[in-house]
Amino acid sequence: MSSIHADVKNFEEEQMNETSIPWMWTSLEDMVNFLSSLEYLKYSNSKAFYRQCVMKVKTKPERVIKKWEDELHWDFEEWSEILVCNYKLTHETKVKTFLFKLFHRVLPTQEFLFKVGISETDVCRLCHEEIETLLHYFCFCPVVTIFWTELFQWLREQTGETIPFESHVILFGYNEILDQRISGTNYIILLAKYYLYLCKHKSLYPLFEEYRVMLKEHYNIELKINTKNNHLKQHKLMWSFEPE
C-alpha cells in the first residue's frame, strides 16, 4: 500500500473511532454551523437528530461533495485522498482546522450570516458587488482575483510551471499528478487561502507582498518542524525552491 493510501485508511479509521463530539468543533459557532447544515428542525425528536449527527460525522459528507461538484463542475472521485494530501502539507493545527472547515463548507460567509439574521447584508465586503459565497470570496471576487493573478505569476517565475488558474485548483490544490500533490506549490496555494481567510476576518484587502512575508514565516515554521522530526529529506522533495 502506498503511503498516501495508508494515510487515507488511517484517516478514515480515525473518523470511525470518533466519539460523539466531533473533534473539529472548536467553538460554539462550529456547532451552530454544523447543526444548520443538517436542518435540525426537520427531525421529530432529539434521538433521531443525534443519530443523524453521528452518522454525518462518521461517513463521507456526500452532500458537501455533491455541492462542490455542482459548483466547480469537477469530479471528486478521490475526495479522501485529496483532503489527506492537503492536510499533509502543513503541520500547523490552526491551518488544518481552517482547511477542514473550508472543505466541509462550514466557514461562515456573508450569505450564511445574512440568512441566519446575524448580518444586515449578504454582499461581499471586498468588492461590494456580489453575494459573498465561498466560491466568490476565495475565487471569483475581483479583488481576490488580482491577488491570485500575482501569486500564480510569481509561482510561474519560481517553478517554471504554469498552474491552471481554475477554481478547483485554488480550493483543493493542483491534483492532476499524484506526486505533485504534496508539493511546495500546493502548500503556497493552501496558505494563500488561509491568508485570505484571515483578511476576511479583519476586513482587510489582501496584498500579495504581505502574503509573501507571511509565507516566509510559515515556511520557516515547517522547516523547523521537519528538521526537528528528522524529515529534511521529505522537506527537500516537497520544496523545489525556498520562498523568499
The residues binding Zn ion (CB under 5 A) are: 124, 126-127, 141
Q: How far is the CB of 206 from Zn ion (least distance, A)?
A: 11
**Residue 95 or residue 170: which is nearer to Zn ion going by CB?**
170
Q: How far is the CB of 109 from Zn ion (least distance, A)?
A: 11
Identity of the residue, 144 or 238, whose beta carbon is nearer to Zn ion in the bound complex: 144
Q: How far apart are CA 150 and CA 156, in angstroms?
A: 10
- Smallest gap, in angstroms, from Cβ of residue 211 to Zn ion? 18
- Smallest distance, Zn ion to C-beta of residue 136, A: 6
CA dihedral angle for residue 204, residue 205, residue 210, residue 211, rounded to 10 degrees:
100
| CB-CB contact of 195 with 206 (8 Å) | yes
Question: What whole-number distance in Å separates Cα of residue 25 and Cα of residue 219?
Answer: 27
Give the integer Cα–Cα distance in Å for 72 and 61.
Answer: 17
Q: Looking at beta carbons only, is 85 or 102 nearer to Zn ion?
A: 102
Minimum CB distance to Zn ion, residue 127 (Å) = 3
Which of residues 49 and 165 has its CB atom nearest to Zn ion in the complex? Answer: 165
Q: Which of 201, 182, 192, 199 is nearest to 240 (CA)?
A: 182
Q: Which of 60, 66, 52, 110 is nearest to 83 (CA)?
A: 60
- C-beta closer to Zn ion: residue 32 or 113: 113
- Under 8 Å between Cβ of 21 and 29: no
